[in-house]
Amino acid sequence: MRVTRLSHRLARVVRSAARFPRRLTAALTGGWPAGGFDLNDGAGINRLLAAHGLPPLAAPTHTVAFRDGRLGHGEKVYEVRDDVRRAIPLALTPAGRETFLDWFLRGGREQTDVGFPDLLRLLFEHDAAPDRGLVGSYLLHPDWQARHPAALTPAGWGPFKRWVAAEYRVSGRWLRRAALPTRFAAPPEQKLGANVLALFRHPSGLQQCAVAVVDALANAGVSLALRDIPTPFHRDGRPRAGFEGLEQFPVTILNLGLDVPALGAYRAAGLYPRPGVYRVAIWLWELEHLPAGWLDRGRDVDEIWAPTEFIATALRPLGRPVTTILTPVRLPAFPAKPKAAFGLDPDRFTFLFVFDMNSRLARKNPLGLIRAFRLAFRPDEPVDLVLKVSPQDRFYADWWRELRTAAAAAGARLVDRLMPREELLGLMNAADAYVSLHRSEGIGLTMAEAMLMGKPVIATGYSGNLAFMTPDNSYLVRYERVEIAEDIPPYPKGCVWAEPSVEHAAKLMRRVVDRPAEARAVAARGRADAERLFSPEAAGQKMAARLAEITRGVQ
């Protein structure tokens, strides 16, 4: 069967499903056709296609989870491909679905890790919604948002639908009956609020910073409209729902790495930067100075909130007001598990280091840590070094090869799978001590989290972690400031960072093992200091007070 004919018949499947929602619900939950099936199962998919007279497809190789009535994985094929959004603007609606399926079946699926069941269910869900996919489309088209800022209001919905009909020459009962979902019926609350644009679904330090800022603001009574910047890979599996906010408040907070320009973040998010909005950047950066090509980053924001004074000093050349507000850190509830739950020997002392290869092997410096570990302990001593690394070997093959070779030679253990947040915290809690021989950090969140758990922390005595680490509450490793010898994007050759002393680090690791009472006392002081410094209440009140000042000035 020709691909175009197949996609046309699949489009009919979706239309049929929307007309019979009970049948659709039963199909998605395994109750239809007779016998039931799981949409993550290839045989089940083929039974569904066979029920409509369609030929079987190859069994999908990628499974996904169905959460909260929406499928996060299928959305990726459209939300991260702005070229596809431009070419097929009505892909999520009955008017563009056939073209979208045709593109996907002709070769689009080879350009993504999204499987056919993911995409099919995404279209089912949009078609079953009262707006028939128009709202989901609007939220991803900045040009629509610019032309029709009031589209998602009762007064603006009708004119917006008429514009869609004229602009794209579409008509039909689906468009006439497309209704604005009830969540848009009430006007937004007139209270202190902020729009927050961040990597909410990308497991990383950036994600944790954004979550911490949002929690602190919410606790301070600030209303929030959250907007996620989607990434094609390394996502936490959550759907887009809940992270689709527009710029409904007069102030937007951009919580990003400095390598992402403000307008680039808007483009990636499919969000129109509304005129008149006051923009605050919470930028993370890891070096003393900025690359020369980034000195215009302040052009598209009005002020900067720096998570540490180290970052504030680096960002002041951008020519915008800079306020230092230490990023709040609060540990969520997580199950405490013994070492054995993670395959660790309970009779051996465990040092842990957690990092993401996206953060650059040279900056995180696990190779230096491995050398310090081997210098500190004989192979027959009951001491282990565990390195928890995010699984990015498909992108950093050379670095991974170097890391695996060094770890194997030293007897260090690599944990290279993606862990849910609570499991990662459980691993950190099961370890006896945390150690980081970083060359530079903007903040050093894993060090802060380990201190909050009451662990003795050993770390390079340089950069952003000195906002909360002192010789009294942690073990600081001596270092020399050195120039970066080669370009390691985004860190350019010639910039400065630290070269921690492997010998001193080895002595401190030895000391923590040999002097357990002293280590416990240092860890207790570290925990008390971290609880005071990282208070979400204090940070939230400070940010809310500044938001109130800004809001009064722009309204």
CATH 3.40.50.11930 fits 193-324, yes or no: yes
**For residue 9, what pLDDT band results from cuts at 50, 70 and 90?**
low
Q: Span 335-341, mean pLDDT?
A: 94
* Minimum mean pLDDT range among 23-37, 404-418, 492-506: 23-37
**pLDDT tens, 443-484?**
999 999 999 999 999 999 999 999 999 999 999 999 999 999
The whole-chain average pLDDT of the chain stands at 86
**For residue 430, what pLDDT band results from cuts at 50, 70 and 90?**
very high
Q: Span 373-393, mean pLDDT?
A: 91
Q: Give residue 15's pLDDT.
A: 56
What does the buried/exposed string (b/e) look like for 467-503 if buried means 16 or more CB atoms within 10 Å of the residue's CB?
Answer: bbbeeebbbbbebeeeebeeeeebbbeebebbbbbbe
* Minimum mean pLDDT range among 59-68, 72-81, 180-189: 59-68
| CA distances, 355 to each of 366, 414, 433, 437, 445 (Å) | 9, 11, 15, 11, 10
Instruction: Give residue 234's region: left, alpha or beta (phi > 0; psi -120 to 50).
Output: left
**For residue 554, what pLDDT band results from cuts at 50, 70 and 90?**
confident
pLDDT at 123 over 60: yes
pLDDT at 169 over 50: yes
Q: Give residue 515's pLDDT.
A: 98
3-state secondary structure (DSSP) of residue 244: strand
CATH of 339-534 given 2.40.10.220, 3.40.50.2000, 3.30.9.10, 3.90.650.10: 3.40.50.2000
Q: Give residue 108's pLDDT.
A: 73
pLDDT at 29 over 60: no
Higher-pLDDT residue of 554 and 216 is 216
**For residue 64, what pLDDT band results from cuts at 50, 70 and 90?**
very low
Q: Give residue 67's pLDDT.
A: 36
Q: Give residue 445's pLDDT.
A: 94
How is the chain split among helix, strand and coil, in percent rounded to 5?
45, 15, 40
Q: Span 193-222, mean pLDDT?
A: 91
Distance between CA atoms of residues 476 and 472, nearest Å: 9
pLDDT at 25 over 50: no
Q: Give residue 295's pLDDT.
A: 93
* Cβ-contact 399, 361 below 8 angstroms: yes
pLDDT at 140 over 70: yes
* Minimum mean pLDDT range among 77-86, 184-193, 373-382, 519-528: 184-193
Q: Give residue 5's pLDDT.
A: 56
* Minimum mean pLDDT range among 8-17, 127-136, 422-431: 8-17
Give percent above pLDDT 90 in the chain. 64
Q: Give residue 37's pLDDT.
A: 31
Closest CA to 61 of 2, 98, 13, 114: 114
C-alpha torsion sign, points 235, 240, 241, 242: positive
Higher-pLDDT residue of 522 and 181 is 522
Q: Give residue 21's pLDDT.
A: 43
DSSP code of 412? P
Q: Give residue 246's pLDDT.
A: 94
Higher-pLDDT residue of 113 and 154 is 154
Q: Span 297-323, mean pLDDT?
A: 96
**For residue 239, what pLDDT band results from cuts at 50, 70 and 90?**
confident
Q: Hey, what amino acid is at 490? A: P
Q: Give residue 187's pLDDT.
A: 66
* Cβ-contact 500, 460 below 8 angstroms: yes
Domain ranges of the chain: 3-184, 193-324, 339-534
Q: Span 115-136, mean pLDDT?
A: 82
* Angle 399-400-403 from CA coordinates, rounded to 5°: 85
**For residue 39, what pLDDT band results from cuts at 50, 70 and 90?**
very low
